Structure 1
Amino acid sequence: MAIIIGCLKKTSVLRSAVIIIGGFTIMIAAIYVAVSVLTSGDTSQFVFLQHTELPDKFVIAGEIFLMGLVCFLSIKYKKYYAIIFSLVGTIPVLWMDLTGRAVEGNMHLRIDTFAAVMYLIVGIVGILICIYASGYMKDYHHHHTDVQDRSNYFLALMFVFLGAMFGLISSDNLGWIYFFWEITSVCSFLMIGYTRTQEAVDNSFRALWMNLLGGCGFAAGLLYCSLNPELGFSNLSQVTQTGASELVIVPVTLFAFAALTKSAQFPFSRWLLGAMVAPTPSSALLHSATMVKIGVYMLIRVSPVMYGTLTGIMITVIGGFTFFAASLLAITVSDGKKVLAYSTISNLGLITACAGTGTTEGVWAAIMLVLFHAVSKSLLFQTVGDIENCMGSRDIEDMHGLIIKLPRLAFIMIIGICGMFMAPFGMLVSKWAALKSFVDSGSVWLVLFLVFGSGSTLFYWAKWLGKICAVIHQSFELDDITPRSEMISIFPLTTMIVVMCFAFPWMSGHMVQPILDEAFHTNIPDVIGTGDSIVMMIMVAMIFMIPIGSRFLSIGKNSKMTMSYVAGVNAGDDRHYIDSFGKERALYMSNWYMNDYFGEKKLLRPCIYVATVLVAVMLIIVVGGAF
């Protein structure tokens, strides 16, 4: 797909047709594989490439190519520090491969229940983002005339990225996982730097070195495994079957460190914030379905091993701290994409904290959060991008009265926002399971992080929702110029959020429960019953009445138009008022962002310092103690 797209004309109808047809073909294939695994009842039969030589040589060649590419671009842009991280991570792995010390197990590809669920996320959400991008990139260069049109290159990178994701979640061999891990790091680096502006270059290299640092941690874990053959495992699936001994915890800690960088946890969160300089499809891809999910995917995989260990405690604390701090920072910004970025970091922190507990409830909550976050956040990023194209702004304050200005996009965004924080959408129910897990772990700090983090989450989402649903006298409908090709992606995602509300009990029993059975070899009772499902359906219907009422009831022809109350006499246009001296002054109403209390300048750097100390303590005690 990537090669074909790269050869087509940039504005041709054929390119869009290839992306749509090819994308849906990949989606259907992914759904077929996932459904086959989920309905099989025995995932042990889905094991492939037990003995291979040629693919291993291909992996070695790929690792050399990626290292050479990073070195070349680092020299070109004079970012020499990235070369160091690339060499430190790749050379030990190449040494193990070429000297026969590589961690080679009998199974290279294995698709179990968790991999099948990830297939659905990547195959559906990821492909829909690519289809959205085919329409978005046509108009992108009309609004950004100073940026060279390399849209074929960008779209091809997206499909390479998805291919690496499929490879990673299908791989059971640790060496192959490292290879696909590095591909995603390099692809995200190239997508973030698409515009080639100085800001884009700086942000792309920040993302590169942080993710390569995680790759160094992953490589160190592989090296430790190769030097300690008594560990007894060479595949990821075998890690959770091994007791939580001191030897096992060392590579698990290094893998968890790599996962922290990939999932943009503090202190590695700045690379994800900087990714917003790239076109919106890149942000949607990195924030929702792929890049950041790799980190939490790895953490959930090794979660049972971390139960009751110092590594598990530290991972949970780092995740809980990130959830709380990022939710506070989201309150202080009005840029729509930046709010979504902090929200992503915050939710990833909650998923990380759940995985760190190593309990069945924690893993259940983490998987559910992954599912709902992938769909909701992808929809929100795409909708914000379309609103920006229609209005010329993505500032939340400019979305005042959006339900009148762009009713279709506003209605879609309301569903996306509700999916992130309101009942009966799964994010809220999953937080309840997370709270139970934290209470069972006996950690007061984790409970406080969750309670106050959820409160601040409610604050920034409610502000945004209120702005969209507000009805003002000067509201007038704008032209919705969203292309049909983008709606091919947006409408299915919107439908998925609603359907997932009703399918929540089924998802728990047929998708999440088998994952727990495979990881913990035990059963837990269903969290959602039939009675709860009925209540959820009623709540869904009530939620839909909010935008419908705002759109059709509040602005009827016979509605009484009342001027807003201001600290003075309203001048009659709701935009000016007469002060106590009889002078007319401009009126501006906005949300409260609390910058004086915990704005980015006051809170971001201290959070990075605190998290750095926590990560350093974990590595020094666990890894340093082993040597």
Structure 2
Amino acid sequence: MNELIFLILFPCIIAFILLLLPNNRIKDAIVALAGLVISLGSIYLFATSFTGGSVYFSFPFEPTAQVMFVIEVAISLLLLYLGMKFKQYVAVLLVLVQTAITLYFEMTMAGGLEPVKNLFIDEFSIIMALIIGIIGSLIAVYATSYMNTYHEHHPEIRDRRRMFFFVVFVFLAAMFGLVFSNNLLWVFFFWEITTLSSFLLIGYSETEEATNNAFLALKLNLLGGIAFAASFLYLATVDPSGGLFELDALIASGQSVAIIPAVLICFAGLTKAAQMPFSSWLVGAMVAPTPVSALLHSSTMVKAGVYIIVRFAPVLLGTLAGVALGMVGAVTFLLASAIAISQTNAKKVLAYSTIANLGLIVACASVGTPELVWAAIMLIIFHAVAKSLLFLCVGTVEHRTGSRDIEDMDGLIVKFPKIAVMIAIGIAGMFLAPFGMLISKWAAIEGFIDAPFGIVFVTILAFGSAVTVFFWAKWMGKVLSVTPFGENLEGSVSRGKWVVLSSLAALTVLAALLFPLVSSVLIEPYVLGVYGETARLAQDNIIIMLLMILLLLFLPLSLYTSSKESRKLPVYMSGRATTPDLKFAGSLGIQREMTTRNYYFDEYFGEKKLLRLGDPICILLILAAAALVAWGMSMGVVM
């Protein structure tokens, strides 16, 4: 238990230290040292606990609950003040509704509650702790150098780096608390801390756009918070002793008891995971500094949403409500992938690809079979590593070139050869073998075949996966295209950034190498403990994957075997006369410059067009899930 307490409290202590320190090298050193300690702490937790299965700890409930309640009230007062200050009256109303529910619960129902097993650890929480501890810490370290450059480029923005790093480390602490809490009241407390943290980080620049987007994220996540809080009223009514507030006890109570709180809490998961119709908040969050985007997408905010849905997968298994929620994820996966085709802004491509992949995870977890839960957890792992690498690479390129447009990334392999290779690794990690995203999608297809409405899910997954190949491949082509223009600019990138980017690139490759080990040591035991049966990758698929990994490892050898005097072929323009600087003779003898540009098909895959289609469909599916649960309970059956 001491390791869990340390990982929750240590980032909080560092957060308050950073809040008091001025912006200098000492602060940067403390961030780096704290990141190292947190990373090692999560690795130590894995080394000492991965063979222990599910372990529960009796941490004192009452004093801790009182402190949490005071902090929740303080958060509500802060949000009410900010909502009134910026005239965000819808946000004020939502805060009042959520606060009213929690106050009513605390005053009338919480007195007799005494949950015992308040903290726990199992294989899934270890996986999440490794993602939070290692990737989250690397992003925090990267942010020290990034934020220095950020304020050099944006002198008009008020320097609030002390607040920035304070919130970042509180964010990490809240995520550790969330994944280690077996008490739903504590899960909700940390859940709200992540909502507040994302709100503050998105609005960091204090521009009108940043403020509006921060409040959009707040409002949509408050909808989920209201549903989460409402589940407490039901649980306290069913079991006034508070036993059902223990997550393991609630899941073990059976679908007839757990389905209502499961659907309410999974609705909160949909909002935090930015599923349609709530996806707009995550796209709007791209206005924040790049480390914030990387943090939200890889190791904190959105991962909390899919984490809680995976936890409730056994309750949703075999229910029409679960199928409806899964269809929300499937539709989001297909349409968000299609929207990514029409985007030229690299961060928006990453945002919509995140929304899409989260949709696939939600679909797998909501249908809830052992095979699909296995695939969902694998998708969480590989998405976290590859997406953090891509965001930080794009942020580095943007600072050095002044653009995040994909069309401006021609010749990146010339200007930033190492970063271009890292971007290629990150992109490959999202859609190519032997990286785990592709293998996990294949496992998802196999899992959906035998699931209810499986043909629908398989069809959506097949088309959505085909779409992802399109937008990833065209971006990779831009990055790796060689042009005669530009000079190597990598010398201007700080050493700290290189350390973080190289570490994430290595983790992306390492995750592919250790794919079978991660599955056998962590994921398969977790699935076995939950379902009494497990899922694993077929032996033939493992052999094929290992052969692909060997090919991947042999590729760099070509750099050493090729001659230093490699022959460079001239540009070929189908017979047109060309010059070394990529110009050619056009009509009437006019000399033109050769350029390449991707197709974006905005008329077919435009953002507004597909959101107008996807948002209503997903709203209807969510309402259908709620209606099915309500009707089933009235009839005495689980739907």
Q: SS where residue 233 of structure 1 aligns? A: helix
Which range is displaced more, 101-110 or 163-172?
A: 101-110
- Determine the C-alpha separation between the residues in 1 that align with 2:358 and 2:399: 28
| Distance in structure 1 (CA, Å) of the matches to 2:538 and 2:32 | 36
Pick one of 496, 500, 511 that aligns with 1:500: 511
- Contact 1:122–1:289 (Cα < 8 Å) also in 2: yes
Aligned residue for 2:244, secondary structure, equals coil
Q: State whether structure 2 residue 617 is matched by structure 1 residue 600.
A: no
Does the CA-based 8 Å contact 2:344-2:406 persist in structure 1?
yes
Which residue pairs with 1:22 in the alignment?
34
Match of 1:86 among 85, 90, 95: 95
Q: TM-score scaled by structure 1? A: 0.94
1:138 matches 2:145: no
Residue 38 of structure 1 pairs with residue 54 of structure 2: no
User: Over residues 117-140 of structure 1, what are the superposed CA-to-partner deviations in whole Å (9 max), with x where a residue is unaligned?
Assistant: 111111111111111111211111
Cα distance in 1 for residues equivalent to 2:364 and 2:590: 57
- Structure 1 unmatched runs, 5+: none
Q: 1:457 aligns with which of 468, 474, 493?
A: 468
Helix, strand or coil for the counterpart of 1:603?
helix
CA contact (8 A) 2:334 2:461 kept: yes
Which residue number in structure 2 is paired with residue 398 of structure 1?
408
Q: Kindly tell me: are residues 187 and 318 of structure 1, through their superposed partners in 2, closer, same or farther at Cα, counting changes over 3 Å?
A: same
Q: CA contact under 8 A between 2:322 and 2:625: conserved in structure 1?
A: no
Structure 1 pair 74–546 and aligned structure 2 pair: CA distance change class (3 A): farther
- Equivalent AA in structure 2 for residue 72 of structure 1: Y
* C-alpha separation in 1, matches of 2:371 and 2:302: 22
Structure 1 CA distance for aligned equivalents of residues 134 and 505 of structure 2: 13
Question: What amino acid is aligned across from residue 68 of structure 2 in structure 1?
Answer: V
SS at match of 1:581: helix
Q: 1:13 maps to what in 2?
A: 25
Q: TM-score, normalised by structure 2?
A: 0.92
The structure-2 alpha-carbon separation of the partners of 1:90 and 1:569, relative to structure 1 and needing over 3 Å to count, comes to same
Amino acid of the structure 1 residue aligned with 2:65: D
Instruction: Check if 1:433 corresponds to 2:443.
Output: yes
Following superposition, the deviation at residue 28 of structure 1 comes to: 1.5
**Could you say what the CA RMSD is over the residues aligned between the two structures, in angstroms?**
2.2
Question: After alignment, is 514-523 or 319-328 more displaced?
Answer: 514-523
1:315-338, Cα deviation, whole Å (9 max, x unpaired) = 111111111111111111111111
Q: Alignment partner of 1:110: what SS?
A: strand
Structure 2: which amino acid aligns with 1:7? L
Q: Kindly indicate whether the alpha-carbon contact (under 8 Å) linking 2:183 and 2:246 is maintained by their aligned counterparts in 1.
A: yes
Counterparts of 1:117-196 in structure 2, within 5 Å, are: 117-196=127-206
Instruction: Give the CA deviation at 1:575.
Output: 5.1
Per the TM alignment, residue 586 of structure 1 is displaced from its structure 2 partner at its CA by 4.8
Distance 2:290 2:265 in 1: 30
Once the two structures are TM-superposed, the CA of residue 523 in structure 1 deviates from its matched residue by 3.4
Deviation at 1:546, TM superposition (A): 6.4
> Which residue number in structure 2 is paired with residue 4 of structure 1?
17
AA aligned opposite 2:159: D
**Number of matched residues?**
618
Give, in whole Å, the separation in 1 of the partners of 2:401 and 2:139: 21
Matches within 5 A, 1:334-373: 334-373=344-383
Residues 345 and 406 in structure 2, CA contact (< 8 A), matched pair in contact too: yes
1:484 aligns with 2:492: no
CA distance in 1, matches of 2:154, 2:515: 42
Deviation (angstroms), 1:609: 2.1
Q: CA deviation at 1:560?
A: 3.3
Aligned match of 1:61: 70
- Distance in 1 (alpha carbons) for counterparts of 2:278 and 2:130: 28
2:79 is aligned, of 70, 82, 88, to: 70
User: How far does residue 9 in structure 1 lie from its aligned partner after superposition?
Assistant: 1.4
> Structure 2 CA distance, aligned partners of 1:584 and 1:552?
39
Q: How far off is 1:563 after superposition?
A: 2.2
Question: Which has the higher mean CA deviation after the structures are superposed, 422-431 or 605-614?
Answer: 605-614
Distance 1:609 1:575, change over 3 A: farther
Following superposition, the deviation at residue 480 of structure 1 comes to: 3.7
1:563/1:570 contact within 8 Å kept = no
The C-alpha deviation readout for 1:237-296, integer Å capped at 9, x for no partner, is: 122212221x42111110110000010011100100011100010000001111101111
Whole-Å separation in 1 of the counterparts to 2:90 and 2:507: 43
Task: List gaps (5 residues or longer) in structure 2.
Answer: 1-13, 635-639
Q: Partner letter of residue 590 of structure 1?
A: R
Q: How much has 1:148 moved relative to structure 2? A: 0.9
State the shift of 1:577 in Å: 4.1
After TM superposition, the structure 1 = structure 2 runs for residues 526-537 of structure 1, keeping only pairs within 5 Å, are: 526-527=536-537, 529=539, 533=542, 535-537=544-546
Q: Which residue of 1 aligns with 2:307?
A: 297
Structure 2 match to 1:572: 579
Aligned to 1:384: 394
Give the conservation status (yes or no) of the 8 Å contact 2:321–2:628. Answer: no
By how many angstroms is 1:421 displaced? 0.9
State the AA in 2 paired with 1:517. L
The match for 1:562 is 570
Give the letter aligned to residue 466 of structure 1: G
Q: Deviations over 1:176-223 (max 9, x none)?
A: 111111110011000000001111011000000000110011011111
Structure-2 change in CA distance of 1:605 and 1:58 (3 Å): same
Q: How does 1:324-343 map to 2 (within 5 A)?
A: 324-343=334-353
Which residue identity is paired with 2:16? Answer: I
Does structure 2 retain, via aligned residues, the 8 Å contact 1:191–1:282?
A: yes
Distance 2:591 2:630 in 1: 67
Q: 1:419, 1:125 → 2: CA distance? A: 16
* Alpha-carbon separation, structure 2, partners of 1:587 and 1:469: 17
Distance 1:229 1:296, change over 3 A: same
Residues 30 and 38 of structure 1: is their aligned pair in 2 closer, same or farther, counting only changes over 3 Å? same
- Segment drifting more, 510-519 vs 25-34: 25-34
Cα separation, partners in 2 of 1:266 and 1:540, compared to 1, 3 Å: same
Q: Distance in 1 between matches of 2:541 and 2:609?
A: 43
1:65-121: per-residue Cα shift (whole Å, max 9, x none)? 110111011011110111111121222122222334366422111122211111111
Q: Secondary structure at the match of 2:493?
A: coil
State how far apart, in whole Å, the 2-side matches of 1:554 and 1:476 are. Answer: 23
Structure 1 residue 470, shift from structure 2 partner: 1.4
Distance in 2 between the 1:305 and 1:354 partners?
13
